[in-house]
Structure 1
């Protein structure tokens, strides 16, 4: 009988499978089995399970995307699961305190192990403080395509070249052509973004992960550099929005305060927050987490949400899935 694995061991194995296929796209299941010392059946099961997973910080429905056939597999989108899991400084501090308390009661023969774990965490914290707030290499996308794109954008910013690309809309899952004056590339929560101006005036941000293709114009075709002032607490300037929605969150969704642009209005008998009214994205967000969210205002938002839900149900019924 196969011994039961702890949750931590299972999680580690799943991460290993995802990371291996991200680094070996369109590889065979047998190759992965030899490299990871797992059966092909187990690898297929791991990929099937992880395809139902996502991480906070991505859009609702942004789950791991895996393509698997009889012989081969590719992880199309990892939702961040192919990068090392990082502790926040607060979480690391709490862990260090718990380790110190554990050491005071642990047998002498295990104290060395606890000391080693504490030293590793402290080393990581010191290394993190040595980096700037806007760049944490252990969270940054490192695929070759990302590196080439970042280098090209850095060159375009330095030499003031306009850039053109196709950009994917998360609300409609379509691509549209954009031509912009690039000003800055920065890292926010493990994702690279381009700050640029359309028509040399309108400031917008673009996720590098949703840029398809990049063409650089001639040197000097972009307007003079205009580096944006970025608030680390509100990097996309949501606080300056003139359209807001007020929603009530179920207590189980309190984690959203750490990952989404939300400003707490009430936090006693109920959790009420304001969020920027961003149109299609907000509707998808509310629909994705509708089990724990109640829209308070504006009222038209509730009606638009109901209409979107009805269209979704009608699409399922039309295909005989409802």
Structure 2
């Protein structure tokens, strides 16, 4: 199962862009045939008709007669008869202008943003139009925009190779690596360095908050020609067939897993769901399952089920009385740890 929320978000964004273009397009072509408009806009006639139906309920606040976009149909031709002011020049209020200035400043500071020059040109135009308001004492700081991120960004812009000390939670280990940075990225509110890792001999993503130490080397970064940036359109983690596949039986309270993690298979099993997903390694999967509630049971692989059972039993033993006579009241029973025996 792919990530339905992500697909729905992209579809909604695509439809919003179409609707924003649709009204001025139709205003410039009164009486155009729906088939011709669909061809020009790159959509099917059915999709265009659905977009036109949605425009009926779009318009100005109040959303009553005289506020909503209106159209006239003559057979297969359509004409916009009221555009709800969409053709009027935009006049920003002081608050709107300041909000745009802050947003553009933040975008200009985002690591890895494409075409920064275009952002800076747009910012200059808005600041010029805003006048004295643009000089308001507003400080823009991104999430995670700390000294380490600024240090990494400066090194990447200078094109230097870096020696880093990096913590990998999936293996619970810290390693020393020499990397040749490609770019800085901001994904899901976290900063990353994408770089050629000389240790792994491959392109890797390093989370800035997991870099314990960084040294800028005097040598320039040299990225091999075979190095290619990752496609992060679906997030940082990209499951592949060579990663371990685990299957869990989950209850209603844990169905959020299917929205938060990319799943290969989701099947109904009575009131429960069978969920299969790829993981970086079984060590991470063990910690993941142990952090979930009693509504989760490991179905496969057997190795993971045994690891979870063993660690759950060890945790229960740690709560046992010195004489080992009984499990303290309130402690979980091994049968409730989400483990298939």
User: Is the Cα contact below 8 Å between 2:171 and 2:284 reproduced in 1?
Assistant: no
Looking at structure 1, the residues matched to 316 and 157 of structure 2 have their Cα atoms a distance apart, in angstroms, of 45
- What secondary structure sits across from 1:230 in the alignment? coil
- Structure 1 residues 189 and 317: CA distance shift in structure 2, 3 A: farther
Q: Tell me which residue corresponds to 1:251.
A: 252
CA shift in 2, pair 1:268/1:138, >3 Å: farther
Asked if 1 retains the 8 angstrom alpha-carbon contact of 2:111 and 2:184, the reply is: no
Counterparts of 2:111 and 2:214, CA distance in 1 = 27
8 Å CA contact 1:234–1:261 kept in 2: the answer is: no
Is 1:211 aligned with 2:214?
no
Distance 1:172 1:237, change over 3 A: closer
Mapping for residues 1-322 of structure 1, pairs under 5 Å:
140-155=143-158, 158-159=159-160, 161=161, 163-171=162-170, 175-196=174-195, 197-199=197-199, 201-220=201-220, 222-224=222-224, 226-267=227-268, 269=270, 270-277=272-279, 278-315=281-318
**Structure 1 contact 248–271 (Cα < 8 Å) conserved:** yes
How far does residue 247 in structure 1 lie from its aligned partner after superposition? Answer: 1.5
In 2: Cα distance, 1:306 partner to 1:166 partner: 34
Change (3 A) 1:194 1:145: closer
**Aligned-pair distance for 1:291?**
2.1
Q: TM-score, normalised by structure 1?
A: 0.50
Q: Which runs of 5+ in 1 are unaligned?
A: 1-87, 94-99, 106-118
Q: Cα offset for 1:268? A: 7.3
Q: Distance in 2 between matches of 1:203 and 1:272?
A: 34
Q: 1:264 touches 1:271 (CA, 8 Å); kept in 2? A: no
Preserved CA contact (<8 Å) 1:154 1:185: no
RMSD: 4.4
Work out which of the two has the higher radius of gyration on C-alpha atoms and give 1 or 2. 2
Counterparts in 2 of 1:172 and 1:236: CA distance versus 1, 3 Å: closer
Secondary structure class of the residue paired with 1:148: helix
Contact 1:193–1:206 (CA<8 Å) still a contact in 2? yes
How many residue pairs get matched? 208
Q: Mark the CA change 1:239 to 1:172 in structure 2 (over 3 Å): closer, same or farther.
A: closer
Distance 1:247 1:104, change over 3 A: same
Equivalence for 1:44: none
Hey, what's the Cα distance between the residues in 1 that align with 2:112 and 2:183? 12
Partners of 2:201 and 2:234 in 1: how far apart? Answer: 24
TM, length-normalised to structure 2? 0.48
C-alpha change, 1:133 and 1:182, in structure 2 (3 Å) is closer
Change (3 A) 1:309 1:198: farther
Q: CA 1:234/1:318 → structure 2, altered by over 3 Å: closer, same or farther?
A: farther
Contact 1:184-1:195 at 8 Å conserved across structures = yes
1:214 to 1:146, Cα distance in 2 relative to 1, 3 A: same
- Distance verdict in 2 for CA 1:242–1:213, change over 3 Å: closer
